[in-house]
Amino acid sequence: MKIGIGYDVHKLVRNRDLIVGGVKIEHEKGLLGHSDADVLTHAIMDSILGALSLGDIGKQFPDTSPEFKDANSINLLKKVYESMYDKGYIIGNIDAVIVAQRPKMAPYIIDMRKVISDTLNTSIENINIKATTTEELGFEGRKEGISSHSVCLLIKK
Ligand SMILES: Nc1ccn([C@@H]2O[C@H](COP(=O)(O)O)[C@@H](O)[C@H]2O)c(=O)n1
Ligand SMILES: C[C@@]1(CO)OP(=O)(O)OP(=O)(O)OC[C@H]1O
């Protein structure tokens, strides 16, 4: 078994789509990044790469590369899945949290779990996604950005 942790932050700005966990969320702002800035999927990728000792998403998918400009992060997660599978591992489980003052993530969480579990070729029961505010404290609380944390357990095939 292997355990990994991931953390990511992106800034909220106008004139960008808000994509979290592969799901488009209706909101007046979106996250800024080289890719689609899907902060949850990035944290999940970093947790898997961490478990595999493969560094992080910046190493695997450099933000200086035009190849990853406006990339759909679910396509990057699929590449991470393939690396994991090639190294002989499958997902045990993932537990992740989205830290956002708003919008409300709860209505979208079942769709996020479906997209992530389909991409990682595992049961939806193995993917838990939570959301919390910070009670208006810090950058998430001021609605300047959204962060996400993820922990994963990988098991040998
Ligand atoms: N962006 C968010 C934040 C929270 N939720 C849900 O609301 C519950 C209460 O949040 P607190 O920060 O006040 O504890 C939380 O447990 C989530 O279910 C949400 O959907 N979206
Ligand atoms: C995903 C990548 C690559 O497009 O870019 P961003 O969307 O800026 O995201 P970040 O979390 O800074 O991490 C890694 C990147 O290299």
* CA 65 / ligand 1 centre spacing (Å): 35
99 within ligand 2 shell (Cβ under 6 A): no
Q: Using CA atoms, how far apart are residues 2 and 152, in angstroms rounded to an integer?
A: 8
Residue type, 109: I
pLDDT of residue 49: 98
What is the mean predicted confidence (pLDDT) over 106-135? Answer: 98
In the structure, what pLDDT confidence band is assigned to residue 95 with cuts at 50, 70 and 90?
A: very high
Domain ranges of the chain: 2-156
133 within ligand 1 shell (Cβ under 6 A): yes
Q: What is the CATH number of domain 2-156?
A: 3.30.1330.50
ipTM: 0.93
Closest CA to 92 of 35, 142, 48: 48
User: Does 34 carry a binding-site annotation?
Assistant: yes
Write the CA distances from 151 to 5, 14, 66, 141, integer angstroms. Answer: 5, 30, 29, 23
pLDDT of residue 45: 98
User: Does 59 carry a binding-site annotation?
Assistant: no
The model's pTM is: 0.97
**Residue entry with tokens 């450099």:** 62
